[in-house]
Structure 1
Amino acid sequence: MQIQIEAFDLPGHSCATAPGFPGYTGIHVAVQHRDRTKDLLDPQPGGATSATWTLECAATTTPSGVDLKGPYIQGRPEDRFIYLSWGTMDEAGAFTPFRRAKLMIDAIDPATAEAATRSGLLLARLRLTDAKGQPLCAAVRPPLIEWIAGQTG
C-alpha cells in the first residue's frame, strides 16, 4: 500500500521572528524516517508551491481497525503517525531541524482506512502554513488534514 502526502501553502523560504518563534531562513520540510531521525525523505524548500511524498507501507487489519507500518511510520499500534520535519538547509545541504508536524494516523476514519487498504492508496492533503504564517507543527488531525482513500494507476 502507498500513502501519498500532498502538501500546499508552504510558509516560504524564510519566516520572521515572532513571539515563541525565533525565525529561520533556508526552510525545508521532509518526511522523517522512523529509526533514523537524520534520514529524511525528499526535503522540499519551504518556498515551493506544493510538495508531495509517497511512502510505502503495509496495512494489516486488526480487531481494532487497520494498522499501518513502514519505514516512515512512527509510534505504537493505535498511536501511529508520520513526522514532517522542518529545518534549515545550508548551501552544503546540511539539514538542521527546528520543529515537526505529527500527522496522526489514528485520526483516519475507519471506513476511509479500510477503503484505502482495498484500493492500495491513502491520500493525505494538508496546508503547511499555520494560522500565524509559520511552519505547521504539533499533532495534525482533521480538519487540518484530509485523509482520502484513493485509487492507484
Structure 2
Amino acid sequence: MDSPAGTDVKGPYIQGRPGNRFICPSWGAAGQEGSFSVFRRARPMPDAVPAPELEAAVSGGLPVGRLGLTDACGEPLCARVVPPRVTWTAEPRD
C-alpha cells in the first residue's frame, strides 16, 4: 500500500508503525501443557527491502526475506535485522 513516505508493508504477521514495520520470529521453549516461553526474538525489517525488490513484489510478486537464525557467536539471532543480515528478494506468487 502506498503512503506519503513510500510503500507501507502490511500483512497478518507485520507489526509496528509505518516506517518502522517488523516481522517477529521468536525462539522459545514449549511446555508439556502447551505453553510457550519466549527467550529471544528477531526483528527483520520489511521497511529495509531494497526498492527494486519491493517494486517487483508490489507489481505481483511476493517479498521473501532470507536470514540465518544464529548470530556471529552461534546464539539465536535477535534484535533488529537489516541487510546484509537479511537478503530480500521478490518471488513469483503461486
For structure 1, list consecutive stretches of 5 or more residues without a partner in the other structure.
1-59
Report the AA paired with residue 113 of structure 1: L
Query: Given the two structures, how large is their TM-score scaled by the length of structure 1?
Result: 0.58
- Select 2:8's aligned residue among 48, 67, 77: 67
For structure 2, list consecutive stretches of 5 or more residues without a partner in the other structure.
none
Moved over 4 A (4+): none
Identity %: 51
Task: Tell me the equivalent position of 1:148.
Answer: 89
Query: Given the two structures, how large is their TM-score scaled by the length of structure 2?
Result: 0.90
1:77 aligns to what SS in structure 2? coil
Structure 2 Cα separation of the partners of residues 66 and 74 of structure 1: 15
- Select 1:130's aligned residue among 65, 71, 82: 71
Q: How does 1:29-68 map to 2 (within 5 A)?
A: 60-68=1-9
**Superimposed CA distance per residue, residues 102-150 of structure 1 (whole angstroms, 9 cap, x where no aligned partner):** 1111211122111111123111111101111111001001111001011
Cα distance, 1:76 vs. partner? Answer: 0.8
1:112 aligns to what SS in structure 2? helix
* Preserved CA contact (<8 Å) 1:81 1:103: yes
Aligned residues: 94
Cα distance, 1:151 vs. partner? Answer: 0.5
